[in-house]
């Protein structure tokens, strides 16, 4: 791990590094036509689908309907409810109304349909806890679809999908472990593909991460939020004048540097509150606050709830 005061040479890559998943749950789904499945909204989750055999329609409210075939993967980034089906106008069964076989603590097997043409899919709900991940996920569209076969530069992705298809089809010993690890990688790859190609990924925070100087400043904040950063010290660290840095940061990120720093500190605090039962005084000191009271006031002003209430909640907002 680089030292916190050393600027990152790839702030965008560093942001992607934080896309470590927790609370992931995968389902091998075997459908036979006619079939349709209604997946409910899942707050703070990214829904993920890969077709390993056959095809299906994916409908997300407010996004274009797409058809998924082997070699395609799709993300529904904001946990919106959506429908998978073999054809339009098929009555959709509710996911939690159908029997499912639990294979392991994060992998299950679903079978559903009318006995016709088969479709096999890997479906998943995953959650990212890191504040950097939440910032990135907020920028994603309602649906991301990636076709590996029409992307020659993604040869390794094609190979991964072939391997995933084989494991899903044969279900060998340990297959659920292989499938879930491969799927974790594919979720991140789908996000990377969107960042690389979508026009909207070239603006705002993502554009700021690509900026040689502002991206470095963001990386410094992410790596060492407890440091007593000021506009002047950040500007100096990236080789800019104070006024030029302040204007450029606000232009690209959409908020002043000190506002961004405070919000980042509080999201980092929220993550630590969820993961640790350390006293608030220790957390306040970790973030550079002189007292627990000062930290608590800043947290409630930024997050809308007290640190204690946030620690008791089960879902990251």
Predicted confidence at residue 17, as pLDDT, reads 60
For the chain, the structural domain boundaries read 11-200, 205-312
Predicted confidence at residue 243, as pLDDT, reads 97
Predicted confidence at residue 37, as pLDDT, reads 96
Predicted confidence at residue 236, as pLDDT, reads 96
**Strand, helix or coil for residue 4:** coil
Sign of the CA dihedral with 231 first, then 237, 238, and 241 last: positive
Number of Cβ within a 10 Å radius of residue 206: 19
The CATH fold of domain 205-312: Arc Repressor Mutant, subunit A (1.10.10)
Predicted confidence at residue 76, as pLDDT, reads 92
Residue 139's φ and ψ, nearest 5 degrees, are -85, -10
Predicted confidence at residue 70, as pLDDT, reads 84
At the fourth CATH level, the homologous superfamily of domain 11-200 is Jelly Rolls (2.60.120.10)
Predicted confidence at residue 180, as pLDDT, reads 67
Confidence (pTM): 0.68
Q: What is the dihedral of CA 192, 197, 200, 204, to 10 degrees?
A: 60
β-pairing, 21-32 with 107-113? parallel
| The token pair that represents 219 in the structure block | 């990386």
The contacts of residue 114 (CB under 8 Å, 6+ apart) are: 32, 33, 34, 35
Q: What is the mean pLDDT of each run of 10 residues along the chain (317 residues)?
A: 45 65 76 96 85 92 86 85 94 94 81 96 79 74 78 63 67 66 75 78 82 90 87 96 96 93 87 83 87 91 88 57
């Amino acid at each position: 791990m680089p030292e916190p005061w050393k600027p990152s040479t790839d702030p965008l890559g560093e942001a992607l590094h934080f896309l470590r998943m927790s609370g992931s749950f995968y389902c091998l789904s075997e459908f036979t036509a006619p079939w349709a499945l209604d997946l409910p909204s899942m707050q703070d989750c990214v829904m993920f689908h890969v077709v390993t055999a056959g095809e299906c329609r994916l409908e997300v409210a407010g996004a274009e309907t797409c058809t998924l075939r082997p070699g395609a993967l799709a993300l529904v980034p904001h946990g919106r409810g959506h429908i998978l089906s073999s054809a339009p106008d098929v009555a959709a069964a509710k996911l939690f109304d159908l029997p499912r076989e639990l294979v392991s603590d994060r992998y299950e097997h679903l079978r559903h349909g009318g006995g016709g043409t088969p479709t096999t899919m890997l479906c998943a709900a995953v959650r990212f806890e890191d504040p950097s991940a939440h910032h990135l996920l907020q920028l994603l569209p309602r649906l991301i679809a990636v076709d590996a076969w029409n992307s020659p530069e993604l040869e390794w992705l094609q190979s991964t999908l072939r391997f995933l298809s084989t494991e899903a089809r044969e279900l060998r010993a340990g297959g659920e472990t292989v499938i879930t690890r491969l799927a974790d990688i594919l979720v991140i790859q789908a996000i990377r593909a969107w960042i690389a190609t979508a026009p909207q990924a070239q603006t705002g925070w993502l554009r700021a991460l690509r900026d040689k100087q502002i991206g470095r400043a963001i990386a410094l904040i992410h790596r060492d939020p407890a440091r007593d950063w000021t506009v002047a010290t950040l500007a100096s660290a990236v080789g800019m004048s104070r006024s030029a840095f302040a204007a450029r940061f606000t232009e690209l990120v959409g908020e002043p540097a000190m506002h961004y720093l405070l919000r980042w500190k509080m999201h980092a605090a929220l993550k630590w509150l969820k993961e640790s039962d350390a006293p608030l005084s220790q957390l306040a000191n970790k973030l550079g606050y002189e007292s627990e009271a000062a930290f608590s006031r800043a947290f409630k002003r930024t997050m809308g709830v007290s640190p204690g209430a946030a620690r008791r909640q089960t879902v990251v907002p």
